[in-house]
A and B are shown apart, each in its own frame.
Chain A
């Protein structure tokens, strides 16, 4: 991790992707919420409320395009708000639209990523402002991360904070070592003659992994590729 200034002079924080992987794995372990074969779906509500000690409002009245918001306050726990329409359609409807639960869980993990990675930017040391903080009037929240639909995806472009939160999101939902192990096991069932996932076969494996882990197929597929679990085209083995 290192701190630096962006082109506009604003303070930023940089994490290597491997640091984010390690941080998230270690936080899940500390929380006692690492996924297991018996319980492969990470309990994000418990992670946020019990481990991060953040206030979680699952039915927040947010603008339609805003899926989640993370707020930091001086001297108080952070607050994560999730759009009530997203929660309602993912969890409360008799027949939830396909992929909605995955999106809801991705949003929770994304916001949890903001808390873990970016809280330090807004914390105060002994009444004085952190190096990263710009003074604000009143006692309102120090910063708002308003995560739009386009932010809470697995794409890598966009705002630097959103990119980092997305990396954290993938690492929380699908911790590297665990994910690689069960991905190989599922791949074996589909491609018994190969000890790796052949190029083009990732979608079939992702379709098996998605319901197991409570993520979208797209998320599982991208994770397979990002972790280099899919053979490059023209190669038989890793």
Chain B
């Protein structure tokens, strides 16, 4: 589950990069990105794709789910699933409308995990 420290995606990425003593250009080069694009991400001017978030998480040793949450992304698979199953979107909207606290969300996640296991999911 994502941390709720109120920091934006860009702030988290920049802090971690500086902490790791990596320059903007070096990180951009490692990830095969333009420095200006990485700078835009760090300054919250652009939201990166799921693939870029995955690479950033791996390179900076950050949690992918946390980055996805801060980017406001569900992920390509989840977005496809929601298109195929409108009830999934409705479920999310209800959760959001009810402003369920973290504690309840964790219970829901546990339930979903159990349901997935019963059906042979992972």
- A and B found bound together: yes
Interface residues of A (CB under 8 A from B): 45-46, 49-50, 55, 57-60, 84, 87-88, 91-92
Q: A45 to B24, Cβ gap below 8 A?
A: yes
In the bound complex, CA of A91 to CA of B14 (Å): 20
Instruction: Knowing A45-B23, A46-B21, A50-B18 are in contact, say whether A57-B39 is a contact too (CB < 8 A).
Output: yes
| Shortest beta-carbon distance from A66 to chain B in Å | 17
Number of A-B contacts (CB under 8 A): 29
Q: B24 to A58, Cβ gap below 8 A?
A: yes
Does B25 reach chain A (CB closer than 8 Å)? Answer: yes
Q: A58 to B35, Cβ gap below 8 A?
A: yes
In the assembled complex, which residues on chain B have CB atoms less than 8 Å from the CB atom of A88? 36
Does B40 reach chain A (CB closer than 8 Å)? Answer: yes
Q: A46 to B23, Cβ gap below 8 A?
A: yes
Does B54 reach chain A (CB closer than 8 Å)? Answer: no
Point out the residue from A46, A50, A92 that lies within 8 Å of B36, measured CB to CB: A92
In the assembled complex, which residues on chain A have CB atoms less than 8 Å from the CB atom of B40? 59
Point out the residue from B21, B23, B25, B43 that lies within 8 Å of A57, measured CB to CB: B43
Q: Which of B32-76 contact A (CB under 8 A)?
A: 34-36, 39-40, 42-43
Q: Mark B7-38, 1 if CB is under 8 A from A, else 0.
A: 00000001000100101110000000011100
Nearest B residue to A49, CB-CB: B18
Interface residues of B (CB under 8 A from A): 14, 18, 21, 23-25, 34-36, 39-40, 42-43
From B18, B25, B34, name the one whose CB has the most chain A CB atoms within 10 angstroms: B18
| Shortest beta-carbon distance from B48 to chain A in Å | 15
From B14, B21, B24, B34, name the one whose CB has the most chain A CB atoms within 10 angstroms: B24
Nearest B residue to A45, CB-CB: B23
In the bound complex, CA of A87 to CA of B35 (Å): 10
Q: B25 to A91, Cβ gap below 8 A?
A: yes
Q: Could you pull out 22 A-B pairs where Cβ atoms are within 8 angstroms?
A: A45-B23, A45-B24, A46-B23, A49-B18, A50-B18, A55-B14, A57-B39, A57-B43, A58-B35, A58-B39, A59-B35, A59-B36, A59-B39, A59-B40, A59-B43, A60-B43, A84-B36, A88-B36, A91-B25, A91-B35, A92-B34, A92-B36
| Shortest beta-carbon distance from B63 to chain A in Å | 23
In the assembled complex, which residues on chain A have CB atoms less than 8 Å from the CB atom of B36? 59, 84, 87-88, 92
| Shortest beta-carbon distance from A162 to chain B in Å | 25
In the assembled complex, which residues on chain B have CB atoms less than 8 Å from the CB atom of A57? 39, 42-43
In the bound complex, CA of A57 to CA of B18 (Å): 13
In the assembled complex, which residues on chain A have CB atoms less than 8 Å from the CB atom of B24? 45, 58
In the bound complex, CA of A46 to CA of B40 (Å): 19
| Shortest beta-carbon distance from B117 to chain A in Å | 44
In the assembled complex, which residues on chain B have CB atoms less than 8 Å from the CB atom of A55? 14
In the bound complex, CA of A3 to CA of B102 (Å): 51
Point out the residue from B21, B34, B43 that lies within 8 Å of A50, measured CB to CB: B21
| Shortest beta-carbon distance from A56 to chain B in Å | 8
In the assembled complex, which residues on chain A have CB atoms less than 8 Å from the CB atom of B42? 57
Point out the residue from A49, A60, A92 that lies within 8 Å of B35, measured CB to CB: A92
